[in-house]
Chains A and B, each alone.
Chain A
Amino acid sequence: MKMTLKANRWMFGLVAAACTLGMTLTPCASAEVSDADFNALKEMVQKLANQMQSMQQTNLAAEQAHEKDLQEIQQLKEKLAETRQMATNAEQKSIEAAEAQQLPPRQPLDEATVNHNFMMLGDAEIQFVKASGQNAAFEMADFAPVFLYRAGDNILFEAGFDTTLQNGQNAAGTHDSGASTTFNLTFAQMDYVMNDYVTFAGGELLLPLGTYSQRNAGWLNKFPDDPLAVDALIPESGIGAELLGAIPLGEDGKFINYSVYGVNGPSSSDGFGTAGALDLGGNVGTTSSGANANLHTDPSGGGRVGLFVPFPYKPHYDVEVGISGQSGQWDDAGNYLWTAGVLDAALHLGPNFEAKGEFIETQYGSSDKGLVRQQGWYVQAGYKLAGLNTEIPFVNNVEIVGRYDTLLNAYDSGNATFYNTRRTSVGGIYYFTSTLLFEGDYEFYESNDPGQFSNQLVLQLSLGF
């Protein structure tokens, strides 16, 4: 062990001596580097130092740019967060707005339609008339609102009015002066659908004497005015009650319909049975003195039976025929009967051709002229030029129409004379829309009645609503 320690000591001494020599001898060795080398080395060191400094500056600039980028990134992140928040808020608001504005869901039909409903339909007509021997004139031919009130599934109240304007007269009654508005109740009836085959109607009824009064008046007619016989021979409406209905014949559209009714009926304007006193439009059940009474003993009774037959597998091809009548007392004493019979028919051959007509015959007993028998009929047809399938503009909106009607043995109480009138009308209709139409026709009169209209041109703008 002692030998080992001695050896280490020797070795340590040798190492120390070597180091001392090394340190002392090295400057001697460096002293041998030439100045050129030293300067080159110094220059190289200097360059390295410059490069280092340059790099440090570059690095500093890069660090600054990086710092700036980081700041921008931070700002962008903040903006993005704000944008996201705004988008989220906007989405939420839009959802809330949509929920707030969302329409109520479509209800099942039974729920949506079982409640009552009120509506106004009707029509309005403006006319321009030029009759030979008369000055041409514009006139507000009619404004005819129809009010409907449905109470549930099978009850309906409906009322129609006619509003017309007419000149008044001056105080002396020698010339027209001012104007008056006439607002007439055309019909007002309550309908109760009792079952599939019977409907009750009560009130002021549009009478089913033919079909014109119920289905063709106003803008529905293809002519601006009514057939002569319809206006002169039968009442348009009556106060009373009616049972009506229709019975299908098979599943192909055929059916029979019927109406039976009782109304107060025509009356006498002076109470007596003179021929000129027949009043088709009065006797509404309440007298001028306020009493509730019929002007004659018994009400009138009437009815209609019709048959409708569509052609098999041909929509718009159909025919309908009907027979109707009414009879009842008309003078106050109840001595005389007024009776009317009407045959009606309508034919459609495709969507573009229609023909219809009615034959009306009435008779009534009178105290001065005995049995007064009157008669009249009309037949009219229309053809829509759309059926020609032309490409000519406006032609497809045109329908050409023609009508022939008569009024025979019309009694003029002023002259105590009977007159006959025949009229031929030709014209056309231009359909601006399905409800706005321009009607125009020229009417040729042939009559022995000096008070009857002369030939005339009638233009009418009609709106159905």
Chain B
Amino acid sequence: MVVANFICHKHKSNMNKFKKSKKPIAAMFASVAVTALMIGLSPALYSADTKSDALQSQTNSAPAQTNSVTLEAKTPAPNIVAPKTPLTGAELYSIHCNRCHPERYPTERTGAQWKTIMLHMQVRANIPVKQANLILQYLQDNSGR
């Protein structure tokens, strides 16, 4: 809406003016595109490995982390906030799949089929890869075979 109105004010109904205003519009969309691209690429370039490693270590050390949380809860340390529990694959499945269509049962497909479908859905719904992988893991763990 904002974009459209901006363009409208710029162009009005004068053809010549409209011709002249081509570059600002193109520049505006280019800037949006570049901004979006940078938003997308910057985490991949600078923090992808760090986040990936963090998640990996979090997964590997889950029991120890649970213990530490218990200890923190018993220790009077008001400034320490217990970390939020990451959403599980089942929860993400519940959140995302129902947004566009009735949920499909995991047993409807094989593990390999779910992998293909989730790759399709990941692109179609444009959801984060890690969330898609968690959903895939849930579907495969409960798949027909």
User: Once the chains bind, are B130 and A248 in contact (CB under 8 Å)?
Assistant: yes
Determine which of A199, A325, A343, A431 lies in contact with B32 in the assembled complex, contact meaning CB atoms within 8 Å: A325
Given known pairs A196-B44, A363-B7, the reply for A215 and B140 (CB within 8 Å) is no
* Complex contacts, A244 vs chain B, CB 8 Å: 40, 123, 126
Q: Does B62 contact A (CB under 8 A)?
A: no
Contact (Cβ within 8 A) A248 B112: no
Known: A193-B119, A247-B43, A310-B95. A325 touches B3 (CB 8 A): yes
Please report the C-alpha to C-alpha distance between residue A343 and residue B4 in the assembled complex, in whole angstroms: 10
Main secondary structure of the interface of B (DSSP, over half): helix
Selecting from B64-72, B73-81, B101-109, the interface stretch reads B101-109
Most buried by A among B104, B126, B128, B131: B126
The complex places the Cα of A163 from the Cα of B97 at a distance, in Å, of 26
**Do residues B44 and A303 form an inter-chain contact, with CB atoms below 8 A?**
no
State whether the Cβ of A422 lies closer than 8 Å to any Cβ in chain B. Answer: no
Tell whether A191 pairs with B123 under 8 Å between CB atoms, given A316-B98, A341-B3: yes
Residue A214 at the B interface, CB < 8 A?
yes
Are B4's CB and A363's CB within 8 A? yes
A327 pairs with B33, CB closer than 8 A: no
Asked whether, in the complex, the Cβ of A112 is within 8 Å of the Cβ of B111, the reply is: yes
Q: Which residues on the B side are within 8 Å of A367 (C-beta)?
A: 15
Contact residues of B between 1 and 43, Cβ < 8 Å to A? 1-5, 7-8, 11-15, 18-19, 22, 25-26, 29-30, 32-33, 36-37, 39-41, 43
Total A-B Cβ pairs within 8 A: 221
Indicate if the CB atoms of B129 and A196 lie closer than 8 Å.
Answer: yes
Residues of chain A within 8 A of B99, CB atoms compared: 215, 318, 320, 346, 348
Task: Output the residue of A201, A248, A326, A431 with the most chain B CB within 10 A.
Answer: A248
Q: B101 — which chain A residues lie within 8 A by C-beta?
A: 219-220, 464
A349 sits at the interface (CB 8 A): no
A94 at the interface (CB under 8 A from B): no
User: Is A71 part of the contact surface with B, judged by Cβ < 8 Å?
Assistant: no
CB neighbors of B among A25-83 (8 A): none
Docked pose: A341 CA to B131 CA in angstroms? 29
The tally of residues in B whose CB lies under 8 Å from a CB in A reads 67
> Are the C-beta atoms of B87 and A337 separated by less than 8 Å?
no
Q: How far is B48's CA from A11's CA once the two chains are assembled, in angstroms?
A: 138
- Give bound CA distance, A304 to B126, whole Å: 11
What are the residues of chain B within 8 A of A112 when measuring CB–CB?
A: 111-112
Q: Is A158 an interface residue (CB 8 A)?
A: yes
Interface-side segment among A12-20, A165-173, A252-260, A443-451:
A252-260
B52 contacts the other chain (Cβ, under 8 Å)? yes
CB distance from B88 to the nearest CB of A (A): 10
Is A113 touching B111 in the complex (CB atoms < 8 A)?
Answer: yes
**Residues of chain B lying within 8 A (CB to CB) of residue A435:** 102, 104
Docked complex: A144-193 residues within 8 A CB-CB of B: 148, 150, 153-154, 156, 158, 191, 193
- Contact B33–A156 (Cβ < 8 Å): no
Minimum C-beta distance from B103 to chain A (A): 7
| Contact of A326 with B29 in the complex, beta carbons under 8 Å | yes
A305: chain B residues at CB < 8 Å are 32, 36, 39
Interface of A is mostly: strand
Check: A281 CB closer than 8 A to any chain B CB: no
Q: How far is the CB of A152 from chain B (nearest CB, A)?
A: 10
Q: Which residues of A contact B18 (CB under 8 A)?
A: 336-337, 365, 370-371
Return the chain B residue nearest A201 by Cβ. B123
B115 to A371, Cβ gap below 8 A? no
Binds B, one of A115-123, A124-132, A223-231, A285-293: A115-123
Cα–Cα, bound, A244→B125 (Å): 11
Q: Which of A245, A308, A434: most chain B CB closer than 10 A?
A: A245
B114 to chain A: closest residue by CB: A113
Q: Of all chain A residues, which has the CB nearest B26?
A: A327
In the bound assembly, the distance between CA atoms of A351 and B3 in angstroms comes to 34
Q: List residues of chain A with CB within 8 A of the CB of B29.
A: 301-303, 325-327
A325–B26 CA distance with the chains assembled, in angstroms: 11
Tell me the A414-455 residues at the B interface (CB within 8 Å): 431, 434-435
Contact B126 A306 (CB under 8 A): yes
Which of B5, B19, B116 lies in contact with A150, CB distance below 8 A? Answer: B116
In the complex the two chains form, is B84's CB within 8 Å of A361's CB? Answer: no
On whether A109 and B111 interact (CB within 8 A), knowing A259-B36, A370-B15, the answer reads yes
Question: Which of A112, A219, A351 has the most chain B CB atoms closer than 10 A to its own CB?
Answer: A112
| Interface pairs (9), CB distance under 8 Å | A196-B44, A251-B87, A306-B126, A310-B95, A335-B19, A339-B7, A359-B1, A434-B105, A435-B102
Known: A246-B126, A251-B84, A257-B128. 15 other contacts (CB 8 A): A150-B115, A154-B119, A156-B120, A196-B44, A201-B123, A215-B125, A251-B87, A253-B95, A257-B126, A257-B127, A301-B33, A302-B33, A316-B94, A363-B11, A371-B11
Q: 3 smallest A-B Cβ distances: which pairs?
A: A361-B4, A341-B4, A434-B102
CB within 8 Å of A: which residues of B?
Answer: 1-5, 7-8, 11-15, 18-19, 22, 25-26, 29-30, 32-33, 36-37, 39-41, 43-44, 48, 52, 84-87, 91-92, 94-95, 98-105, 111-113, 115-117, 119-120, 122-131, 137, 140, 145
